[in-house]
Amino acid sequence: MIDVEFDERSGGIVHLLTAEERIPGDELLGVGSYAVVVTTPR
């Protein structure tokens, strides 16, 4: 994870940014001390 893009109005997560891709925020399942868990692409 490099950064997180937030919706300015709702505060919701729009994208999770990594060095390799932009992951849609609705694929986020959880965040912990050592990991970010997302669903696999469909």
Question: Tens of pLDDT along the chain (42 residues)?
Answer: 899 999 999 999 999 999 999 999 999 999 999 999 999 876
Identify the pLDDT of residue 35. Answer: 93
Number of domains in the chain: 1
Contact call for residues 15 and 6 (beta carbons, < 8 A): no
The pTM for the full model equals 0.79
Q: Name the helix (H) or strand (E) containing 39.
A: none
Gap between the Cα atoms of 36 and 8, Å rounded: 22
User: Whole domain around residue 18: which residue ranges?
Assistant: 3-38
Identify the pLDDT of residue 40. Answer: 83
Gap between the Cα atoms of 36 and 9, Å rounded: 24
Identify the pLDDT of residue 42. Answer: 65
Identify the pLDDT of residue 8. Answer: 96
Tokens of 33: 């001390």
